[in-house]
Structure 1
């Protein structure tokens, strides 16, 4: 405004700044806002009329579903149909959540149709979350989609490839949660030559699974069944990060998990990060034929440990001794005991960890419970780590001054080592 009240045009202000942004930046902005708000941008100006219609990322997630709470299932179907009908060009990313929308007896044929549409339009990133109340059998269009690089399936999907199934030739990441594998023949074979990351969380039928992916680098398995089979990963020689969790403790003497886990660790020469819960720690022996194996690339070890079990403590120390380049060690105390005399005697014997851990710099102990076995374990580590820089011990209970003083008095092999003893808040 000038002093006489008339408007003046300032150079550079004739057009809004957002419209001048690069298209990839505009697409990212639209992806971060609810889909219905993104659609409304088409009425802003002529420049924006077709931006939404050609938007390559369609995210119909839980925020989108919330708009249909208390409404008819038909309203949701009509909205998705309208969005896909108005779209022009390739759909690079498609996220679809139907949880809480479809009833248990609903036909999923409409979802098959939506999936067929996006797989025919160059989809690379596909995320699907269905209802927990009913199963959804994946359509053949997913298995025949050659453009997929990222596939995420959540909640009660049935994974039954057609026969023949050529595999996912361009898939890089596969995240399966609550998925049931049903083999077309004797095994469910997944050929994915470019697959780098695989997550299997609470999946069923893993005993029928066979993974053919020589480049697999990240493997995370969280299982809830006593028959988890790891044999199908023995040929994955390039695993860098391995994370294994068991959802419930079931000791089955007929199960061959012990030797299978041994073989997997031994056959993973490139392993850099290893995360095991207490169930797998008890089975993580890496001493084939009486000779310890060496995990030369392992630098980060994260373990849940039951300090009342000799087998677990012995395996932990064996894993540590077999990792000459270990730099970071994280221990979560799963359980403990003050009355395990055999364990106390074992930890107080210098031969249980005779060689120094020359590369270990950081140690973290979570959920510390102040038992004698834990204190001896800490004392042992402090005396065998000449390169240690920091040890952090966290406990849930209030700080015990006497325990803190005892920890501070433990002799340390590293003159630079700092000890932090604190209370964590859950």
Structure 2
């Protein structure tokens, strides 16, 4: 029987097929394919996606600066030989980036048609200034930023394709955040965590569906958000701050100023999560007057199915609000209430709530 020459079918696959295979490997394993043959030496450097996580770095390496140096070795090889687009970059390895190196890498990515730019938790002494080139990415659909200073350049006209935005431990002023949200017409998901210097939040985006906000701020204002179906807000009051400006239009959920009516966008909500930080005595009366006012009798949350309320202390205001939700949410399927402090809620009150739910 004649010896048949073995055919290297994998190496001869089209690059788009090889790219799909390699991006499903941890980056460290993809880089190891360089030893297979001379054909494979630089294949991994041409990937369309780069995910730098703890799998890229040996587990024994704990020094954060050294971990960044390991990442830079990979980045330098990619920059020197990469051809074609880079659609996704994710930094999720706990390290301490050099700001100059980081800026150069981000600038490189923005020239490669980046679609997903994800920068997660890392160690920093001071926040890095987000390079203005990030705002020149017309294909960007997912943006997650951590530990940066966020300022919009004068030339910024918007992210037309951005669907998901997450900012964590970012320095951004209220006006800038409002402008950013308004200029992302395709935005569906918005997450804001531990934002610095945020006096108020104004949410106005006709395509927004999911909102999560966990930060220090004084006021939140909902403008026109007809598709909003899920809201998760944890508000930490900023005592001693003076709010310099409040939008004239929109509906606020506030510490002091209570609106005359609830925002109509709440009719679209299917899930609601509320986490209370603390309750102030001076807030009780205006909120109480609002909750039991005549204007709420004809207000219904017709799409609301799931409610989670955490951190209540058992005030009358809180219980009246819970009663309101039960009585005015005809599609409600479940409500979870977690009480952190104070005396237990009286059984008679719980029975009253149960009767409202069964109505």
Q: Give the TM-score normalised by structure 2.
A: 0.77
Partner of 2:246: none
Q: Secondary structure of the equivalent of 1:295?
A: coil
Deviations 1:73-129 (A, max 9, x none): 655434322223222211010113574334xxx5x1221111111111111011113
Residues of 2 paired with 1:261 and 1:95: CA distance? Answer: 42
Deviations 1:361-394 (A, max 9, x none): xxxxxxxxxx352x334433444444xxxxxxxx
Residues of 2 paired with 1:48 and 1:36: CA distance? Answer: 14
- The CA RMSD over aligned residues, in Å, is 4.0
Partner of 1:401: none
Task: Say whether 1:229 aligns with 2:239.
Answer: no
Partner of 1:256: 254
Q: Aligned to 2:319, which of 310, 313, 323?
A: 313
Partner of 2:270: 272
Task: Say whether 1:89 aligns with 2:94.
Answer: no
User: 1:305 touches 1:313 (CA, 8 Å); kept in 2?
Assistant: no
Paired residues for 1:260-409 under 5 Å: 265-279=263-277, 290-292=295-297, 293-337=299-343, 371=344, 373=346, 375-386=347-358
Q: 1:385 to 1:268 in 2, by over 3 A?
A: closer
Unaligned runs of 5+ in 1: 1-5, 338-370, 387-412, 414-426
User: 2:52 touches 2:71 (CA, 8 Å); kept in 1?
Assistant: no
Quote how far apart the aligned CAs of 1:273 are: 0.7
Q: 1:267 to 1:384 in 2, by over 3 A?
A: closer
Q: 1:382 to 1:314 in 2, by over 3 A?
A: closer
Residues of 1 paired with 2:306 and 2:22: CA distance? Answer: 38
Unaligned runs of 5+ in 2: 244-252
Quote how far apart the aligned CAs of 1:187 are: 6.6
Paired residues for 1:168-179 under 5 Å: 168-179=159-170
Residues of 1 paired with 2:130 and 2:166: CA distance? Answer: 14
Q: Give the TM-score normalised by structure 1.
A: 0.66
Residues of 1 paired with 2:313 and 2:175: CA distance? Answer: 44
Quote how far apart the aligned CAs of 1:249 are: 9.6
User: 2:323 touches 2:353 (CA, 8 Å); kept in 1?
Assistant: no
Residues of 2 paired with 1:332 and 1:17: CA distance? Answer: 59
Residues of 2 paired with 1:24 and 1:183: CA distance? Answer: 43
Partner of 2:72: 77
Q: How many residues align?
A: 337
Q: Aligned to 1:128, which of 119, 122, 130?
A: 119
User: 2:231 touches 2:272 (CA, 8 Å); kept in 1?
Assistant: yes
Larger Rg: 1
Paired residues for 1:190-229 under 5 Å: 190=181, 191-207=183-199, 211-223=203-215, 225=216, 227-229=217-219
User: 2:96 touches 2:124 (CA, 8 Å); kept in 1?
Assistant: no
Partner of 2:136: 144
